[in-house]
């Protein structure tokens, strides 16, 4: 379990994340939604140590994220960042091998190779493994980074807007992959999403943030409602039930 | 899936064996060939340097020349490794440690010494005292500078580099001021120290420099996998478990040590690092620091040994090795910038 307690981050007078406390489960998909500037990405960055917190604590299965050695935390929690650009000239396989760094310190063991092979196969990248990252399309590159996170083999996988710049086919592909990971491997997937309908269709739980605080937290049917969404985004929604999913319409 | 405990045992092996054995046979053989070829070049250039124009005076020429080769190897390796590490830290292939104010700090120190003690005292100073004090001062100065610049770690590396440039300009201005009010004869003697020279080396100092260099280089190779991860950028390195601030501080101190050793030994040799690091990236085409650091060191030794041979036998000491390096390095630097601008 990831326990977030009273986490706060300010930039000058602006408080971006304001005393957030929540608990993220051991399994399943949890989505964090909210308007721009709600503090979603900042919250995720603090949980994953990329950003220092002004106040508050984060513990992952009892391990204090801010006080423990980096490698110990990196074996519990992996992160897929929004930015998948890459200046280093490395191949898909080399990228995925970096996922083993917290375990092996850079010297691959046979178990590491097996984990890398498996991650590549799981993400359908075996044929692309010797291609340089910068030659790949956006969707392929996103899959390569997912494979790296897979090779890291942590219970908790956090993703910051993994569907950015992907078309529907690739976005749905990534979400299905994450769903499979949660179900087959029993991992806990936490994502920041902008598309509330992807969140609704694939999540076990949705956390809605606004102005640096959590305003709604619950299963899709309790958060994807016209009333709750209006509170979060400040605009009108109609919500339809389509083949078992709660789908919000807000286009007109 | 492996458990973390099984996989955390890190075996320290010699650098060459940490290359991936099975997964990329073509690339591995390429890397192996490149390193073998560079080693052969080192042997050939050293052999040339040792035997060129000896004319039978072997027992006189050989020990002296071997000593020079050793000095060139120490300087070359220190400069090459420190530049590769520095460029990985800054994610920039046209920066060198000298941009952090290194050369300027050295020049300032040498100038203050001549200004305060007078050229006669400096020229007769014990080489051990001279070398150690210069190394310690550069190391302490650079480390203090970095500590202050790094602050709480929230400033980016570019801010750090910018502060380095400003510090370098400050040192340069103070040094320029001292030179302006200095006796012209004193300045003449100072010039000898400010221009890199491999001619008048002391063996006792060389042993100490070699020991420091080996320490620094061993540390760099032990951190090579971490350096590989750092090429992915700060955020990814953090998420892969690198304690970023501590690691960067350590690596910057390592760079400071290596550059201090090389500079204290022969004076500032700015462009050499830039030249050899970029040539190494070009011929190895890999992100693995174990490979690039070895390749850059080998290229540096070849460049210095050939340059020195050229200087002695073709130019008959009518130039300095530093000016040859700066000429070749400067041209290469311009080419690099032109290529970056076009890309």
Predicted ipTM?
0.87
Residue A64 has pLDDT above 60, yes or no: yes
Indicate if A138 and A163 belong to the same structural domain.
Answer: no
For residue B169, give Cα distances in angstroms to A240, B107, B113, B222: 66, 12, 19, 34
Are the C-beta atoms of A156 and A76 separated by less than 8 Å? yes
> What are the tens digits of pLDDT across the range A212-244?
999 999 999 999 999 999 999 999 999 999 988
> What are the tens digits of pLDDT across the range A78-102?
998 877 777 777 899 999 999 999 9
Alpha-carbon gap, residue B129 to B115, rounded angstroms: 18
**DSSP run (H or E) holding A189:** strand A188-192
> What are the tens digits of pLDDT across the range B120-148?
777 777 778 878 888 888 888 877 776 67
Alpha-carbon gap, residue A218 to A199, rounded angstroms: 12
What is the model's pLDDT at position B9?
Answer: 38
Residue B154 has pLDDT above 90, yes or no: no
Measured between CB atoms, which of A79, A101, A103 is closest to B229?
A: A101
**The domain boundary residue, chosen from A120, A153, A186:** A153
Indicate if A43 and A164 belong to the same structural domain.
Answer: yes
In degrees and rounded to multiples of 5, residue A228 shows phi and psi of: -65, -45
- Give the start-to-end residue ranges of the domains of chain B: 38-47+59-342
**pLDDT range class, residue A163, cuts 50, 70, 90:** confident
Indicate if A134 and A217 belong to the same structural domain.
Answer: no
A69 touching B, CB under 8 A?
A: yes
What is the model's pLDDT at position B28?
Answer: 60
Indicate if A98 and A136 belong to the same structural domain.
Answer: yes
Indicate if A93 and A183 belong to the same structural domain.
Answer: no
Indicate if A241 and A165 belong to the same structural domain.
Answer: yes
Are the C-beta atoms of B38 and A127 separated by less than 8 Å? no
Indicate if A1 and A71 belong to the same structural domain.
Answer: yes
Percent of chain A exceeding pLDDT 90 equals: 58
Indicate if A104 and A139 belong to the same structural domain.
Answer: yes
Alpha-carbon gap, residue B308 to B324, rounded angstroms: 9
**pLDDT range class, residue B23, cuts 50, 70, 90:** very low
Collect all residues with Cβ–Cβ distance below 8 Å to B143 and sequence separation of at least 6.
B252, B253, B256
In degrees and rounded to multiples of 5, residue A248 shows phi and psi of: -95, 135
Indicate if A5 and A23 belong to the same structural domain.
Answer: yes
> What are the structure tokens assigned to A11, written together?
């930039």
Chain B residue numbers with beta carbons less than 8 Å from the beta carbon of A47 are none
Are the C-beta atoms of A184 and A151 separated by less than 8 Å? no
Four-residue CA torsion sign, A74, A75, A80, A83: positive
Q: Residue A190 belongs to a domain with what CATH number? A: 3.40.50.300
Coil, helix or strand at residue A207: strand
Indicate if A49 and A139 belong to the same structural domain.
Answer: no
Indicate if A134 and A164 belong to the same structural domain.
Answer: no
Query: Which CATH number applies to B38-47+59-342?
Result: 1.10.3470.10
Indicate if A23 and A94 belong to the same structural domain.
Answer: no
Are the C-beta atoms of B224 and A101 separated by less than 8 Å? no
Report the DSSP pairing between strands A213-218 and A205-210: antiparallel
Are the C-beta atoms of B254 and B217 separated by less than 8 Å? no
Tell me the residue range of the domain where A106 lies.
Answer: 84-153
Chain B residues near any Cβ of chain A (below 8 Å): 1-2, 4, 6-8, 10-11, 13, 18, 20, 22-24, 91, 153-154, 224-226, 228-229, 231-232, 235-236, 238-244, 285, 287
């Amino acid at each position: 379990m990831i326990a977030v307690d009273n986490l706060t981050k300010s930039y000058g007078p602006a408080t971006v994340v304001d005393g957030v406390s929540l608990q993220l489960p051991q399994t399943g998909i949890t989505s964090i939604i909210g308007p721009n500037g709600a503090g979603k990405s900042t919250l995720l960055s603090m949980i994953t140590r990329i950003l220092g917190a002004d106040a508050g604590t984060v513990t992952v299965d009892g391990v204090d994220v801010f006080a423990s050695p980096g490698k110990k935390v990196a074996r519990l929690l992996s992160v897929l960042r929004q930015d998948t650009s890459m200046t280093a000239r490395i191949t898909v396989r080399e990228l995925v091998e970096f996922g083993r760094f917290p375990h092996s310190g850079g010297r691959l063991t046979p178990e590491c190779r097996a984990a890398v092979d498996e991650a590549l196969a799981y993400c359908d990248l075996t044929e692309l493994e010797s291609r340089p990252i910068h030659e790949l399309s956006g969707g392929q590159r996103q899959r390569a980074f997912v494979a790296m996170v897979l090779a890291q083999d942590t219970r908790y996988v956090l993703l910051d807007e993994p569907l950015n710049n992907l078309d529907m086919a690739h976005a749905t592909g990534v979400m299905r992959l994450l769903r499979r990971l949660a179900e087959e491997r029993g991992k806990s997937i936490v994502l920041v999403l902008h598309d509330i309908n992807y969140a609704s269709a694939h999540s076990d739980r949705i956390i809605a943030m606004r102005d640096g605080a959590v305003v709604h937290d619950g299963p899709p049917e309790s958060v994807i409602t016209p009333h709750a969404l209006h509170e979060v985004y400040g605009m009108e929604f109609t919500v339809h039930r389509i083949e078992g999913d709660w789908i919000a319409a807000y286009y007109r | 899936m492996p458990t973390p405990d099984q996989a955390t045992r890190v075996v320290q092996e010699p650098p060459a064996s940490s290359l991936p054995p099975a997964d990329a046979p073509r690339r591995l053989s390429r890397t192996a060939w490149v390193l073998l070829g560079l080693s052969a070049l080192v042997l050939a250039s050293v052999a040339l340097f040792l035997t060129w124009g000896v004319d039978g005076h072997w027992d006189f020429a050989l020990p002296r020349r071997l000593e020079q080769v050793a000095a060139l190897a120490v300087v070359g390796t220190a400069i090459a490794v420190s530049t590769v590490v520095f460029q990985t830290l800054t994610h920039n292939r046209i920066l060198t440690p000298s941009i952090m104010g290194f050369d300027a700090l050295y020049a300032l120190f040498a100038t203050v010494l001549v200004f305060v003690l007078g050229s006669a005292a400096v020229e007769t100073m014990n080489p051990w005292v001279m070398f150690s004090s210069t190394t310690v001062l550069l190391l302490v100065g650079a480390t203090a500078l970095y500590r202050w610049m790094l602050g709480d770690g929230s400033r980016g590396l570019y801010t750090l580099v910018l502060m380095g440039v400003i510090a370098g300009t400050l040192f340069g201005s103070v040094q320029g001021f001292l030179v302006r009010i200095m006796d012209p004869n004193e300045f003449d003697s100072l010039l000898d120290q400010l221009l890199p020279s491999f001619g008048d080396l002391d063996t006792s100092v060389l042993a100490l420099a070699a020991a420091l260099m080996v320490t620094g280089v061993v540390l760099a190779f032990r951190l090579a996998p971490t350096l590989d991860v750092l090429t992915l950028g700060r955020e990814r390195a953090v998420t892969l478990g690198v304690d970023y601030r501590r690691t960067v501080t350590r690596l910057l101190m390592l760079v400071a040590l290596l550059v201090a050793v090389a500079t204290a030994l022969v004076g500032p040799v700015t462009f050499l690092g830039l030249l050899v690091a970029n040539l190494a990236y070009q011929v190895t085409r890999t992100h693995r620091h174990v490979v690039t650091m070895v390749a850059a060191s080998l290229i540096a030794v070849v460049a210095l040994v050939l340059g020195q041979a050229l200087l002695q036998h073709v130019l008959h000491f009518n130039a300095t090795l530093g000016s040859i390096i700066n000429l070749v390095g400067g041209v290469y630097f311009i080419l690099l910038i032109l290529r970056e601008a076009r890309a």
